[in-house]
């Protein structure tokens, strides 16, 4: 018995790209650092919030590479003059990626109170009706 996938199901033509996106999302890692939230703020808008306490804006970078949103945090420079008796705030290097659907774009990013907010917006799809001419064979 063979396994049916999205790309091989006879009624789902051209959906192999979705299957690749799911595989890509699965490989993006289940590392829980830094913790994050994803919320839907309206019918066509989303917000990803990452807890980035201890990182300055210069330590963070956000890129979109081939429909993948990648957030990177560079380890903050160590201050040798500080002596910690307990260090519970993690400030290690990280990379977090999110696969974006077609039509979803990053509209902006802000930092506030140790949180990085990334706003996403889904474009309104065009309603297109296409008539196909039937030629005589």
113: left (phi over 0), alpha (psi -120 to 50) or beta: left
pLDDT greater at residue 17 or residue 82? 82
Q: Give pLDDT, residue 95.
A: 93
Each residue's pLDDT tens digit, 19-60: 776 676 666 555 788 999 999 999 999 999 999 988 999 999
Given a contact cutoff of 8 angstroms between Cβ atoms, the answer to whether 99 and 54 are in contact is no
Question: Which residues, including other chains, have CB under 8 Å from residue 59's CB and lie 6 or more apart?
Answer: 73, 74, 75, 76
Sequence ranges of the domains in the chain: 1-30, 32-122
> In the prediction, which pLDDT does 71 show?
96
pLDDT for the residue 4:
60
pLDDT value of residue 90: 73
Q: Which of 41, 6, 66 is nearest to 122 (CA)?
A: 41
Task: Return the higher-pLDDT residue of 26 and 121.
Answer: 121
Show Cβ contacts of residue 40 under 8 Å, excluding neighbours closer than 6 positions: 46
State phi, psi for 18 to the nearest 5 degrees. -65, -40
For residue 7, pLDDT over 70 is answered with no
pTM of the full structure: 0.72
CB 44 within 8 A of CB 124: yes
Confidence at residue 70, expressed as pLDDT on a 0 to 100 scale: 95
Looking at residue 82, its pLDDT comes to 83
pLDDT digits (tens, 9 = 90+) for 69-119: 999 999 877 777 888 899 887 778 999 999 898 899 999 999 999 999 999
Is 2.60.40.790 the CATH number for 32-122? yes
């Amino acid at each position: 018995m063979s396994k049916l996938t999205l790309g091989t199901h006879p009624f789902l033509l051209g959906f192999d790209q979705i299957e690749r996106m799911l595989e890509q999302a699965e490989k993006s890692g289940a590392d829980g650092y830094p913790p994050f939230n994803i919320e839907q703020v309206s019918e066509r808008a989303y917000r990803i919030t990452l807890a980035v306490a201890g990182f300055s804006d210069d330590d963070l970078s956000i890129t979109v590479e081939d429909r993948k949103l990648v957030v990177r945090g560079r380890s903050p420079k160590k201050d040798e003059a500080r002596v910690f008796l307990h260090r519970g705030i993690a400030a290690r290097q990280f990379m977090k990626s999110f696969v974006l659907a077609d039509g979803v774009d990053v509209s902006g990013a802000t930092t506030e109170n140790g949180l990085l907010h990334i706003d996403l917006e889904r474009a309104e799809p065009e309603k297109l009706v296409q008539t196909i001419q039937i030629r005589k064979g």
